[in-house]
């Protein structure tokens, strides 16, 4: 029997739970899906110290899969990496997997200092994207974290990183660079990119700064350009930005946003950012948000607006801003497709 059925949207499922009255004038959320977790996911008593220790005794690690109802990002992660294929076999063999509802009310004993609900645990661990996946060692320490979807090829690197306990001697970004070096993507040029290499100077200008990291090993970069960056609406918003694109494998000199002389390759290693395409967003000399997981066009455009319009001065997070903006759009009678 399949373990669990979950309904409607991801990442910001709360935007549909604000009591919109049924009316032809109210827009609809599109793109929400039904989630099905594999039956081999563990039924936990929600004491993660015991779960982590038990996994360790069996030569495994604990895997925590944070989700919200109807999350299409979560479904893609499950379909591509947990439901079938080589990754599903590797996960089942090497991890005890537990799903956690980011809006859930079950009480969890995460460690000796933290006993909270699922929702409060998500807030405490700063889980802002779903899926977010935490990998835990036998002593209940987080040894790897993924914010968002990973392709099977990328996810296999993370599986191997954890099961080999490579985290004891290196970081995920370095491990990825060592083990993933085949060419699957050719970097695309764009006349709108700024060629300035002093990123600190750019970050302090009146225009916000967007830094895109890509490289030849990137599974998602082609899609990111075609389905997000090349869209008319995205291009319109990006006119408000200075946009810098860096080759994540480059050893060419740059000055990072803190004024350090470095390279794109070394800077990403220092930040332990392993996802491609990674995006950093700056305003007024400060990093406001970063994207280290899959975002479709609607969510990405709203994130760009959040920074460009300095809404971070009004809202605690871009998710809170997204909640308000989505409600306004729906109440205006327009639909929102979160999976475009």
Fill in the DSSP letter of residue 26.
S
DSSP string, 164-228: TTGGGTS-HHHHHHHH-------PPP-TTS----BHHHHHTSSS-EEEEEE-TT-SSHHHHIIII
The mean per-residue pLDDT over the stretch 270-297 comes to 96
Question: Whose structure tokens read 């895997």?
Answer: 63
How much is the pLDDT for 14?
40
What tens digit of pLDDT does each residue of 37-46 get?
A: 999 999 888 8
Which CATH code fits 199-309? 3.40.30.10
pLDDT at 165: 97
31 CB neighbour count, 10 Å cutoff? 18
| Residue for token pair 């729906």 | 330
Residue pLDDT, tens place only, 295-312: 999 999 999 999 999 999
Q: How many residues does the chain have?
A: 340
The pLDDT score that the predictor gives to residue 24 is: 58
Structure tokens at 11: 């990442």
pLDDT of residue 1: 41
| pLDDT (mean) for 87-101 | 97
Choose the weakest-confidence range: 112-116, 132-136, 255-259, 313-317. 112-116
The residues, any chain, with a CB within 8 Å of residue 1's CB and separated by 6 or more, are 39
Q: What is the pLDDT of residue 12?
A: 41
Record the pTM.
0.89
Please check the confidence at residue 185 and state whether its pLDDT lies above 80.
yes
Question: Which distant-in-sequence residues (6+ apart) come within 8 Å of 248 by Cβ?
Answer: 213, 214, 215, 218, 264, 265, 268, 276, 278
Q: What is the mean pLDDT of the chain?
A: 91
Report residue 113's pLDDT band, with 50, 70 and 90 as the boundaries. Answer: confident
More confident position, 189 or 336: 336
Task: Give the pLDDT band (50/70/90) at residue 114.
Answer: confident
Give the pLDDT mean for 217-240.
97
Q: What is the reported pLDDT for 336?
A: 96
Peptide bond into 193 cis (omega under 30): no
- How do residues 3-31 score in pLDDT, each as one tens digit? 433 333 344 444 444 444 444 579 999 99
pLDDT for residue 9: 36
Instruction: Evaluate whether 202 touches 239 at the Cβ level (below 8 Å).
Output: no
Candidates 255, 37, 277; CA nearest to 154 is: 277
Three-state SS letters, 288-316:
EEEECCCCCHHHHHHHHHHHHCCHHHCCC
Q: What value does the mean pLDDT take over residues 327-336?
A: 95
Q: What angle do CA 158, 163, 169 make, to 5 degrees?
A: 80
Domain spanning 4-169: CATH 3.40.30.10 = yes
Task: Specify the domain boundaries for CATH 3.40.30.10 within the chain.
Answer: 4-169, 199-309
């Amino acid at each position: 029997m399949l373990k669990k059925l979950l309904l409607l949207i991801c990442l910001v499922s709360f935007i549909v739970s604000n009591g919109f009255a049924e009316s032809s004038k109210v827009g609809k959320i599109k793109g929400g899906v039904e989630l099905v977790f594999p039956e081999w996911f563990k039924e936990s008593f929600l004491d993660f110290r015991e779960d982590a220790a038990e996994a360790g005794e069996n030569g495994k690690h604990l895997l925590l899969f944070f989700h919200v109802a109807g999350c299409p990002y979560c479904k893609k992660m499950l379909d591509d990496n947990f439901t079938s294929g080589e990754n599903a076999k590797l996960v089942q063999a090497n991890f005890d997997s537990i799903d956690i509802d980011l809006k859930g009310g079950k009480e969890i004993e995460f460690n000796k200092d933290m006993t909270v609900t699922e929702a409060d645990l998500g807030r405490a661990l700063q889980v802002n994207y779903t899926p977010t996946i935490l990998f835990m060692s036998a002593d209940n320490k987080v040894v790897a974290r993924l914010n968002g979807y990973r392709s099977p090829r990328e996810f296999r690197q993370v599986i191997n990183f954890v099961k080999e306990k490579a985290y004891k001697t290196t970081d995920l970004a370095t491990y990825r660079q060592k083990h993933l070096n085949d060419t699957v993507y050719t970097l695309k040029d764009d006349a709108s990119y700024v060629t300035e290499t002093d990123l600190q100077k750019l970050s302090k200008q009146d225009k916000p700064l967007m830094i895109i990291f890509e490289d030849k090993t990137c599974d998602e970069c082609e899609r990111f350009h075609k389905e997000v960056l090349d869209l008319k609406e995205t291009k319109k918003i990006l006119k408000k930005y200075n946009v810098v694109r860096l080759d994540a494998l480059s050893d060419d000199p740059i000055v990072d946003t803190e004024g350090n002389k470095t390279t794109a390759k070394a800077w990403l290693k220092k930040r332990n950012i392993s996802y491609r395409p990674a995006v950093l967003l700056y305003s007024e000399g400060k990093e406001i948000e970063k994207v280290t997981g899959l975002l479709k066009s609607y969510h990405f455009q709203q994130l760009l607006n959040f920074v460009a319009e300095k809404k971070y001065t009004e809202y605690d997070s871009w998710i809170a801003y997204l909640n308000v903006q989505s409600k306004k759009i729906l109440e205006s009678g327009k639909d929102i497709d979160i999976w475009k």
